[in-house]
Amino acid sequence: MIFCADLHLRFTTPRARKDDFIQAMEAKLCFILDMAKQSPPFICGGDLLDQARSDQELEQWLISLFKHYLVPIICVPGQHELPNHSLSQYKRSSLAVLEAAGVITVLTKEMDAVTYGDWAIWGCAWGETPDESMRDPKRRNMLIWHKMVTQDPLWPGQELVQPGRLLRLYPWYDLIVTGDNHQTIIDATRMDSHGKVRRLINPGSMMRQTAAQIDHRPCVFRWEGDQLAPEQIFLPIADDVLDLTQLQEEKARDGRIEAFVERLETPAEIGLEFEVNLKAHFLANPVRREVKDFCWRMVG
C-alpha cells in the first residue's frame, strides 16, 4: 500500500515556484504511481486535486494517466475538491468526473468500506466524522480522513487536534491516514495489553507550493504485508525551485504591522488630535495634492 495526501494536482504554476512546476508535478506523480503498481493500492487522504472544478485538459490527462497505470486509487474528498466546500455539491466536481471515468474510488462516510486483503478501508470527507458503525470485526480497519491534525497550532486561535487524540477517540482503527495539514506527521500509540500498535500518518503535501515550505521534504509511506510498520519514502526534489520573494515580502509586511501596533501603544508619539496626526503624516510622506484636498474636505 502507498499512502499520500494533498497532491493538489493542477495545471497552473504557484507564484512561489520558479522551475517547470508542471513537469516536476508529473514526475512526482508518476514516481508514486510506479511504486503503487508494485505495492497497490494508491491511497490518498484528500485534496488529490487543487480545485473543485479543474479544467478539462487536467481531467483528461489524469484519466489517461490513471488508465495507463491501472493502479487501484482510493481517496476521500478534501475541501479544495468540493464546490463551495460543500459535500452536497460533490457531483459538480472534477473529482466526480474522475470517479465516473472509473479511474478512482471515492469514499465518504455514507459508503461501505473497500476491502483489500485483510483490510477494511473506510473514508470520511472533509467535514465528516466517523462513528462505530464504520468498522469490520473480521478485518483490520483503516480510516482515510481529510482532517486537520497537527502537533502544534499553525495559526493563532487554531483548535488543536493532535494525532494521539484521534487514536484515543477511535480505538477500532488500526491505521488512520489524514490529509489537510501539508506537514508530515507520524504517530504511533500502544493501546492494549497485547502490545498492539495503532498508527496515524499524515503524509503532508506532494509539492512545495509556497515559500514557507522551503524546509518541507515531500514523502509518501509504503506498507507491505511483511513490514512491521509503514516505510517513509522521500520523493525526489530539486534544489532552488522556490522564489523566496513572497516569504520576504510577508516578513516585511509583518514587520510593518508590528511597528504600527507599537506606535499605537505610544500615545505621546502619535498625539491625540486626528488633524495634527493627519498633517504630520502629510509632512512625512509623499501624498498627491488631490488626496490631501479630499482628506481635508472629509475632516472639515
Question: How do 119-124 and 140-146 pair as beta strands?
Answer: parallel
Q: Exposure string (b/e) for 204-222, b if CB count within 10 Å is 16 or more?
A: bbbbbbbbebeebebbbbb
Does residue 24 form part of some domain?
Answer: yes
Does residue 29 form part of some domain?
Answer: yes
The answer to whether residues 137 and 14 belong to one domain is: yes
The answer to whether residues 113 and 208 belong to one domain is: yes
Q: How many domains does the chain have?
A: 2
Does residue 219 form part of some domain?
Answer: yes
Does residue 240 form part of some domain?
Answer: no
Does residue 239 form part of some domain?
Answer: no
The pLDDT profile of the chain, 300 residues, written as one tens digit per residue, is 999 999 999 999 998 888 999 999 999 999 999 999 999 999 999 999 999 999 999 999 999 999 999 999 999 999 999 999 999 999 999 999 999 999 999 999 999 999 999 999 999 999 999 999 999 999 999 999 999 999 888 878 888 889 999 999 999 999 999 999 999 999 888 776 677 889 999 999 999 998 888 889 999 999 987 778 899 999 999 988 888 776 655 555 555 555 544 554 544 444 446 666 777 777 778 888 877 777 777 766
Q: What is the pLDDT of residue 271?
A: 46
The answer to whether residues 66 and 96 belong to one domain is: yes
Model's pTM, two decimal places? 0.80
Does residue 295 form part of some domain?
Answer: yes
Does residue 127 form part of some domain?
Answer: yes
The answer to whether residues 183 and 291 belong to one domain is: no
Q: What is the DSSP letter of 68?
A: H
Q: Are 112 and 92 in contact (CB under 8 A)?
A: no
The answer to whether residues 23 and 148 belong to one domain is: yes
Domain of residue 268, residue span: 245-299
CATH number of the domain to which 112 belongs: 3.60.21.10
Residue 195 backbone class (left: φ over 0; alpha: ψ -120 to 50; beta: rest): left
Question: Where does a domain end: 215, 234, 253?
Answer: 234
